[in-house]
Amino acid sequence: MRHALPLALAALILGGCASHKPEDLDGTWINQDAIDSAVKSGRITQTLNKHGLALEWKLDVAKQAASYTNGFEAVDGHLVTAKEPWEVRFSGDQGQQLGLSGDTLTTNDPEVGKQRFVRSKTAGNAPLGGSFERALYQAYLGGDWKIVEGQGKGAVVRFSDTGSVTGLPGPDRFALCLAGDCADMGGSNDSLWLERNQRGAPWMFKRDGDTLEIYQAVNLAQPDEKPQLTPGARQWLLEKD
């Protein structure tokens, strides 16, 4: 009998640790695995431009709303939290299950299988996809880069997680191409947009460890065809300090 109470308490504690309230789903969740893979491989397009790969979820239990983006399109659904596993229902009788394991959100997509997400630390009022983008920029381009070849040689370049860039001669804003039309135009090559005063152009780039090469983008398509971009002359070679 003297063991009954401790065992009961242990069962209660373990049961409580294993369960979650629907409200625990609230917030913005980003695909950290995708970010880590992009940083490790150096490739953005090949890592992120995969069928069915979700980059970010926004969940609001009170409004029974759920949205996710793959970097190209936003998909809205109805969040059902009556019982676990929770579910997001989309138009066309499609659905996706949600679960929580510790601080990790898991989704189970019939086509791509399970994906894992962590809660964003910088969500704020960012639009859908904005929190993933900021986390990717910080992980992929954060820190100091020095121009070792090209105009402005010797200058220190800094890419911020909000899309500003300093140190490159000319541009003061940038955006990495994650998916969609810009990814299609570059084929298997990675590309980014550089601009100043809201006027800019696409560029190609290659990241290899602590080196970043930025190339002029050459359009191989005819005037009446969709742009087909390929790397041209190298404009800058940057090395991470």
Q: Which pLDDT tens digits describe the chain residue by residue (241 residues)?
A: 444 444 443 333 333 344 678 899 999 999 999 999 999 999 999 898 876 689 999 999 999 999 999 998 999 999 999 888 899 999 876 788 999 988 899 998 777 788 999 999 876 789 999 999 999 999 999 999 999 999 999 999 999 999 999 999 999 999 999 988 888 889 889 999 999 999 999 999 999 999 999 999 999 999 999 999 999 999 999 999 8
Going by C-alpha positions, the residue among 75, 166, 162, 74 that lies closest to residue 122 is 162
46 and 103 housed in the same domain = yes
Q: Are strands 56-60 and 27-30 parallel, antiparallel or unpaired?
A: antiparallel
Of 156, 132, 123, residue with least CA distance to 27: 123
In a domain, 7, yes or no: no
Write down the pTM of the prediction.
0.88
- Say if 15 falls within a structural domain: no
pLDDT reported for residue 51: 63
* Same domain flag for 124 and 40: yes
Query: CA-CA distance, 238 to 241, in Å (whole number)?
Result: 9
Tally Cβ neighbours within 10 Å of residue 121: 11
Task: For strands 113-119 and 104-109, give the pairing.
Answer: antiparallel
Q: Is the residue at 6 inside a domain?
A: no
Note the pLDDT tens digit of each residue in 103-134. Answer: 899 998 777 788 999 999 876 789 999 999 99
Tell which residue, 171, 197, 230, 207, has the closest CA to residue 47: 207
Question: What Å distances lie between residue 12 and 15, 19, 85, CA to CA?
Answer: 5, 11, 21
Which of 128, 151, 182 marks a domain boundary? 128
In terms of residue numbers, what domain contains 168? 142-240
19 CB-near residues (< 8 Å, 6+ apart): none
